Every structure is written in structure tokens, then in C-alpha cells.
Amino acid sequence: MMNRFILAKQSWLFPFRPVTKKLQHCRFACKRRYLAQQINGFHTSICSTSYEEMYHKSIATPELFWDDIAKGIDWFKPYDQVLDDAESPFAQWFIGGEMNTCYNAVDRHVESGHGQQLALIYDSPVTDTIKKYTYQDLLDQVSLFAGGLKNLGVVKGDRVIVYMPMIPEAVIAMLACSRIGAIHSVVFGGFASEELGRRIEHAEPKVVVTASCGIEPKGILPYKPLVDEAIEFSQYKPEKCVVYQRDMYEGIMLPGRDIEWNDVMAKASPQDCVPVLATDPLYILYTSGTTGDPKGMVRPSGGHAVALYWSMKHLYGVEPGEVWWAASDLGWVVGHSYIVYAPLLSRVTSILFEGKPVGTPDSGAFFRVIEQHNVCSLFTAPTAIRIIRTEVSFPRRRYFGQIMTDKGNWAKYYRSDCNTGDNISTNFPEGLQLMHGIVRTVESRLAE
């Protein structure tokens, strides 16, 4: 069945490996790296000469380079070969090795004595909720939902569609799939029913995991009716639909097919991690479909884990135990990589934000999150900054007090900016002009 997928194997992405001169050029147009340094108690950035050395080593001897990086991942069975590029550019990494991404993202941190460290901070201004999960909490929830999926007949190699808002249960569902070797496919919450139906028909999931609704600044967006319409549209019908009922809207359940999240958890027993090959798929993520049919990108487990583990420290300068915020959505690749997998693989605390740059409740939301949770590094798009900039009612002093008036203190929160192909405008109003002095806008660099 997997042969039906339209694949973009992208061997140069995970781990990084150029396959043409064009790809080599766009992969690291910027060969400088800014690393964090503390000056007078605040973070600032310094240019690292070691990055240039690492870059050249990764190009000249990729096998040696990534073999050394892979030691940061726990393997159930050591790999026999680092790289097989006999069918270049469709390379395979860490052939013969067995591992589990969920184990590396959760279990090993608990086993090493860091179970009480925060793993996830759920901040939802749209529901006025802040909930914190330690690595032990995450392990308990993930292993239990993995057992619930197993009770529903999900086994290694099965697909599971996750269609949920930015809530902790979405992260738990992703990690639970990884735990038992199932392949998750997260669809952006709120996608139209026909678009969701096309992805269901293509992926052929055994189970769809959803929530009763999402919450937008303008009000409640019911998800359950969209899921029902999508399944009706699709020629393929999933066996079960797990629904997380939210307090503000209750979805109508279809007897025999639908089952509530809480019921799945109540009947489940914790499930251990299932070893998978490094070359086995971790997830499928579909393109938007704006230029034709959505194309399913299949991400292998081993190379993905190794590269993301490496990236948190060496691309973003974030250390274990620090708080990191990727202001994206779980439905996009940035959300997969830098809300869930990269920070958790690196024992970093990740922010899960259910809100918008403006309107939840105002344009000070980003700054409130940074201040309240002591975020040391922010991954966002220039578009978000522009949206905040356009707000006339920018709350200059609501959350920051002296920080908003002391330009130097921004270094506590901002280290560097990984540009997404577009520079942040230098024509900031007062307030955001502070940020420009600290955020280092580098040349285009594709980390994804």
C-alpha cells in the first residue's frame, strides 16, 4: 500500500546532504552560526567559527559526521551502515539500526532522572488555560493512549490521521503513534472537509483522532461535523474515530464508529515502545495541494531523529532544560519538527500555544508568553512580526515594564533569527524597534 504514496524522500534534508549544486547552495546560503552567550545575566549572540568547520566536515565526510551525531540517540540495535546512497539522491540513513522516536523523546529522559522537568507548556489564551506537563506526565499519558490505540487494532505500520487543534492531546496522539510504530499524518485543524477527505482516502488510516472543536478569535469552529463530512466524502472508511470532547462544544457521536478520548484512556493499559527500523516511516505530511493533488511526504524515523536532535543546539543554541517556543502549528512541518520532536529529543521544554499573534486577546500575546514562561529562544515567521507591527494598539508596557524600555534586556529572550526567506523589516514602530536590535536576521537558510 505504501507504494501508492507520492514520495519526496529529500535525503538532503534529514540528515542534511546536498544532491545537486542548486540544493547545496540553498541549503546553507548562510554558513555563519550565532550561538548563545550570557552577558550580565542576559542571552546575546556570538558568531561561532566552529560552525564553518562542522559544515565542511558534513560535506566532505558525511558518514563520519553523522555517525558521531547519531551517538546522541539511543538505539535498540546499532545500525550496520551510516549511509546508503547507491540510488542517490534517494539515500537511506542508519541502515539496519532499530530505535523508537517516542522513546528518545520521552522515556529516556525519565529513565535518566529528568522526569520532573517540564516537557510541554500548554498556553491557551482562547480558553484562558495554562497547563504544564513534565516528562513523567507526558510518558504516562502517551503510553496510555498508545495502549488505547492498540486496543482499537492499530499495529506497527498502520496509519492514523490526527485532525486536532493546538491542544496537548494532539502531541500525545503523535507520540503514541510513534510509540507503537504506527505512522501518524497530522492534518491542519480546520481544513475543509473535502481536503481532509482526500487525505483520508490517500493515507487509508485505521483510526482518525480528532477533537469536537477548535477555537478561533472569532469563535468556536466545530471539527466533528467536518470529520463526518470528510469520511463521507472519502471512498476509504476508517474503522474508528476517537473524539476528544471539549467543554465548549460537544460533537455528535456515531454509534459503532466513534469513541470518546476519555473512554479510550479508561480502558487502556500503558504500552511499551516498539522498536522500528531507522528507515521505517515516522509520519506522512501532505503538501497543501494548491498546485494539484496533495503529495504525501514520508519521513524516515532514524535520520529524522538524529538531525533534529543535533539542530536544537547547533542551529538554535538551545540547551537541555531551557524553554523554547516554535510559534507555528502542528499541522505544518515546523510544528512537527520544532514544537514536538526536536525539543523533546533534546530534553528542552516546548511551548504549545493555542492562539494568534493578535486578537487573543491583543498584540501583546507573544510578549506575554515569552515573559511568563521565561522563553529563551523564539522560532517565528516575519509575517507574525508584521501582523503585530500593524496593530495600532500595541501594548508597549503591559507585560514588560522595564524590559520594554531597556533595549539590552531583549537579549534575555532573543538569540538569533533563522530567516524563512524574507527579511524582517527594519522600519519598526517604537517597541518592536527594540526587537530589531537583538534579533539577528541572517541570510536565507533552510533548516527544514
Question: Phi/psi of residue 288, each to 5°?
Answer: -70, -25
Residue 42 included in any domain: yes
pTM of the model: 0.83
Residue 8 included in any domain: yes
User: Does position 362 have pLDDT exceeding 50, yes or no?
Assistant: yes
Mean pLDDT of the chain: 81
User: Does position 447 have pLDDT exceeding 80, yes or no?
Assistant: no
| pLDDT band at 418; cut points 50, 70, 90 | very low
Residue 446 included in any domain: no
Dihedral class, residue 407 (left if φ above 0, else alpha if ψ from -120 to 50, else beta): alpha
User: Which of 442 and 82 is assigned the larger pLDDT?
Assistant: 82
pLDDT of 387: 86
pLDDT in tens, 160-176: 999 999 999 999 999 99
Antiparallel, parallel or unpaired: β 377-379 and 81-84: unpaired
Over the range 108-127, which residues count as b (16 or more CB within 10 Å of their CB) and which as e?
Answer: bbbeeebbebbbbbbbbbbe
Q: Which candidate, 142, 381, 366, 409, places its Cα nearest to that of 272? A: 142
pLDDT of 434: 36
Four-point Cα dihedral 94, 98, 101, 105, nearest 10: -100
Domain extent for 73: 2-102+299-438
| pLDDT band at 417; cut points 50, 70, 90 | very low
Contact, 243 vs 212, CB < 8 A?
Answer: yes
Mean pLDDT value of segment 420-436:
39
pLDDT in tens, 375-389: 999 998 888 888 888
* Cα(409)–Cα(405) distance, integer angstroms: 9
CA atoms within 13 A on the CB side of 339: 27
For residue 289, give the amino acid letter. Answer: G
pLDDT in tens, 315-360: 888 999 999 999 999 999 999 999 999 999 999 999 999 999 999 9
Give the Å distances, CA to CA, from 387 to 20, 384, 421, 428: 36, 5, 17, 12
Please count the structural domains in the chain.
1
Q: Which candidate, 226, 220, 208, places its Cα nearest to that of 247? A: 220
Residue 253 included in any domain: no
Residue 113 included in any domain: no
Residue 35 included in any domain: yes
Residue 119 included in any domain: no
User: Does position 102 have pLDDT exceeding 80, yes or no?
Assistant: yes
Contact, 316 vs 324, CB < 8 A?
Answer: yes
Q: What share of the chain has pLDDT > 90, as a percent?
A: 66
Contact, 448 vs 13, CB < 8 A?
Answer: yes
Mean pLDDT value of segment 102-118:
98
- Residue 285: which H helix or E strand, with range? strand 281-286
Contact, 72 vs 347, CB < 8 A?
Answer: no
Q: Which candidate, 16, 17, 46, places its Cα nearest to that of 33? A: 46
pLDDT of 390: 80
pLDDT in tens, 54-89: 889 999 999 999 999 999 999 999 999 999 999 888
Bridge-partner residues for 110, per DSSP? Answer: none
Residue 80 included in any domain: yes
pLDDT in tens, 293-318: 889 999 999 999 999 999 999 888 89
| pLDDT band at 438; cut points 50, 70, 90 | very low
User: Which of 38 and 231 is assigned the larger pLDDT?
Assistant: 231
Give the Å distances, CA to CA, from 270 to 108, 329, 377: 16, 28, 34
- Residue 118: which H helix or E strand, with range? strand 118-124
* Cα(442)–Cα(448) distance, integer angstroms: 16
pLDDT in tens, 127-154: 999 999 999 999 999 999 999 999 999 9
pLDDT of 394: 53
Residue with cell 516511516: 281
pLDDT in tens, 245-292: 999 999 999 999 999 999 999 999 999 999 999 999 999 999 887 777
User: Does position 448 have pLDDT exceeding 60, yes or no?
Assistant: no
CATH number where 17 lies = 3.40.50.980
| pLDDT band at 232; cut points 50, 70, 90 | very high
For residue 410, what is the DSSP state?
G
Where is mean pLDDT largest: 16-20, 432-436, 440-444? 432-436
